[in-house]
């Protein structure tokens, strides 16, 4: 018989340590698995773990490699609890405490219920929504059952709807909290759990926004104190299933963007297999856009996201089907939502980037997606033009500095926040906020979060008005360059399979930052973990060159990535011709590429 040798862990300074009483690491792991199985609430998850336990206990020599792989898998699944923070929960769906599953969701709901009871007493009102991913509806029902048993008044969405509808409902229904079961644009194997607070819990400008400290820590502590999932009380009924009037009320708020302006525009849309297809079509139709052509293969919700490798509009190839349809249909505009429709991507025909080399494609003809900062500036200008005095525009620290110049030109204030709409949406006096990762909030009075549906309506309205003038969104971007200088942004990112490499990469950058960016000397190196410009500390490094080129490097909050946000600014004359602006873009692009190369070298990518 082959036995795994015991692995002893001890404190050498502790005289009470005795090797003969130490528990082996493997025995301890398997005991924790057994305890979790006993406290689980899902028969399939229990069976999955029992199978892994059986494989982990096999001792014949031929199965040792397989056994080692199983033990590694169990170590990963039981490497602590799935962390609950300002992004809520997000992770791969599987059994075990370090995965998304019914047991984890049950304890999360129990913790949220206990937190709400401490904050407002019995009867807290909670809205629960979900997307169309695998298990999302089941996780939402688990949440409704647990919160109802905890004394909350639970209002459950009647079907899989976009995240912005849930965010809207928190304020519209005066709820104390909202839960959205979604993993947004993550891979199909993932799911997540977002928490919003409002009503009597948060009464300031952050009412209806996602959680921030110290709320996240308080809820996390309550989750830690929750019993095993099988011991959490559940109600068999007692919650209210909302009707479609909530969605109707949400769509009615988009009427603020209705006007008598032109609507002659052919728009191709894609939902990327998410839940936004029908809602976006309805919103555009009610706004007067009759020539809307959806990508049919990606219109209906599909939790496998069958036609895309990664359901994020920012990822290469994600919107290729929409671009191809736009080319074939002679469209004027492409609008793409991510799977939960809180983000909005925009693509246009840009002849300056067409190549006509090799096989003819939509991209070779010049179809390209606008960068999030380009759309952010266009929407900012659109909102600022009619905003009342005292209004505030806001953007995240990694977004372009162009929005600050737009605000100043209209006599408005601008605020810079940490990354994430949980920060942007709670700015006092906010009328518009955005972050470069395709997130835009054009109506914070009703939705205090990014909203890909309302942003799509405003982009379409702007594009139609320009189209009637014989102009495009690209011409509007040229106007902004003439007024404020050409701001060109891009991103360098690296995905890591070994998560320990992420902090190591950040420390390496802090210890040895680059001395030049694109051939220009670096003027400032700011460690954002010490706070900067009145912002709370965050893990990141800001580099600024003598020509005002800026680079910010930070770990992603939702993916195993290190992201580098690059921006160069090139002066443009106020009366510059179209060709002069194009030339400025070419120079800016070359400089940005040189900066990106220096950043990659500095990070060892």
CA dist 190 → 37, 97, 167, 199, 558 (Å): 21, 14, 21, 30, 11
- Percentage helix, strand, coil, to 5, in the chain? 40, 20, 40
d(CA 589, CA 568): 9
d(CA 143, CA 149): 10
Q: What are phi and psi of 567, to 5 degrees?
A: -145, 130
Work out whether strand 333-337 and strand 344-349 pair parallel, antiparallel, or are unpaired. Answer: antiparallel
CA 415 to chain centre: 21
- Reference 87, options 420, 446, 390, 445; nearest CA is 420
Tokens 């977004």 label which residue? 399
Task: Calculate the dihedral angle through the C-alpha atoms of 144, 148, 154, 159, rounding to the nearest 10 degrees.
Answer: 20
In 335-396, which residue ranges form alpha helices assigned H by DSSP? 372-384
CA dist 372 → 65, 179, 423, 530 (Å): 47, 27, 18, 28
Q: What are phi and psi of 516, to 5 degrees?
A: -135, 150
399 flagged as catalytic? no
Report whether 49 contacts 96 (CB < 8 A). Answer: yes
Report whether 226 contacts 113 (CB < 8 A). Answer: no
Tokens linked to 296:
């049919």
d(CA 539, CA 554): 6
d(CA 212, CA 498): 28
Q: What are phi and psi of 97, to 5 degrees?
A: -70, -20
d(CA 503, CA 494): 13
CB atoms within 10 A of CB 207: 19
Tokens linked to 270:
């894609």
For CA atoms 199, 201, 202, 207, give the dihedral sign. negative
CA 329 to chain centre: 31
159 exposure class (CB count in 10 Å sphere: 0-12, 13-18, 19+): middle
Q: Spot the catalytic one: 63, 136, 184, 395.
A: 184
CA dist 542 → 511, 546, 548, 594 (Å): 13, 13, 12, 18
Residues identified as active-site: 184
């Amino acid at each position: 018989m082959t036995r795994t040798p015991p692995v002893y862990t001890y404190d050498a300074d502790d005289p009470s340590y005795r090797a003969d009483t130490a528990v082996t690491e493997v025995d301890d792991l398997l005991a924790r698995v057994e305890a979790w199985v006993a406290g689980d609430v899902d028969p399939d998850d229990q069976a999955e773990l029992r199978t892994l336990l059986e494989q982990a206990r096999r001792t014949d020599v031929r199965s040792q490699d397989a056994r080692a792989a199983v033990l590694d898998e169990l170590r990963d699944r039981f490497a602590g609890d799935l962390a609950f923070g300002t992004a809520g929960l997000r992770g791969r769906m599987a059994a075990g405490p370090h995965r998304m599953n019914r047991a984890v969701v049950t304890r999360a709901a129990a913790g949220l219920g206990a937190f709400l009871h401490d904050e407002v007493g019995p009867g807290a009102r909670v809205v629960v929504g979900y997307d169309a991913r695998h298990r999302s509806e089941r996780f939402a029902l688990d949440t409704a059952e647990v919160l109802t048993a905890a004394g909350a008044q639970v209002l459950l969405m009647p079907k899989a709807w976009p995240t912005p509808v849930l965010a809207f409902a928190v304020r519209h229904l005066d709820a104390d909290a909202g839960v959205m079961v979604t993993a947004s644009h993550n891979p199909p194997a993932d799911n997540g759990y977002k928490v919003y607070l409002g009503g009597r819990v948060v009464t300031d400008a952050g009412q209806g926004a996602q959680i921030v400290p110290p709320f996240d820590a308080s809820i996390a502590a309550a989750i830690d104190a929750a019993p095993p999932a099988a011991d959490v009380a559940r109600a068999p009924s007692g919650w209210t299933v909302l009707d479609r009037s909530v969605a109707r009320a949400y769509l009615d708020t988009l009427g603020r963007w209705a006007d008598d302006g032109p609507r002659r525009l052919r728009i191709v849309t894609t939902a990327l297999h998410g839940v936004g297809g029908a809602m976006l079509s309805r919103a555009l139709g009610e706004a007067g856009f009759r020539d809307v052509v959806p990508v049919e293969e990606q219109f209906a919700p599909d939790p496998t996201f069958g036609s895309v490798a990664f359901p994020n509009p920012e990822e290469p190839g994600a919107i290729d089907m929409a671009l191809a349809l736009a080319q074939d249909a002679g469209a004027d505009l492409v609008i793409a939502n991510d799977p939960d429709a809180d983000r909005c991507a925009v693509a246009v025909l840009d002849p300056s980037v067409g190549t006509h080399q090799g096989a003819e494609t939509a991209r070779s003809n010049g179809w390209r997606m606008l960068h999030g900062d380009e759309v952010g500036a266009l929407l900012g200008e659109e909102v600022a033009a009619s905003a009342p005095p005292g209004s505030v525009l806001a953007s995240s620290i990694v977004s372009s500095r162009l929005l600050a110049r737009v605000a100043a030109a209209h006599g408005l204030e601008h605020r810079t926040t940490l990354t994430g709409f949980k920060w942007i949406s709670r700015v006092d006096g906010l009328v518009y906020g955005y972050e470069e990762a395709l997130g835009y909030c054009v109506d914070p009075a009703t939705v205090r979060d990014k909203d890909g549906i309302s942003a799509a309506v405003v982009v379409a309205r702007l594009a139609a008005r320009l189209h009637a003038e014989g102009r495009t969104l690209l011409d509007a971007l040229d106007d902004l360059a003439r007024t404020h200088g050409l701001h060109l942004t891009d991103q360098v990112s690296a995905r890591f399979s070994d998560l320990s490499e992420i902090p190591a990469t950040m420390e390496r950058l802090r210890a040895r930052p680059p001395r030049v960016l694109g051939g220009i000397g670096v003027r400032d190196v700011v460690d954002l973990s010490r706070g900067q410009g009145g912002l709370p500390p965050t893990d990141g490094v800001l580099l600024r060159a003598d020509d005002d080129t800026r680079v910010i490097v930070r770990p992603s909050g939702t993916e195993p990535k290190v992201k580098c946000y690059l921006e160069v600014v090139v002066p443009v004359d106020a009366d510059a011709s179209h060709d002069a602006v194009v030339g400025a873009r070419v120079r800016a692009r070359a400089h940005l590429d040189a900066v990106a190369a220096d950043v990659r070298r500095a990070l060892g990518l």
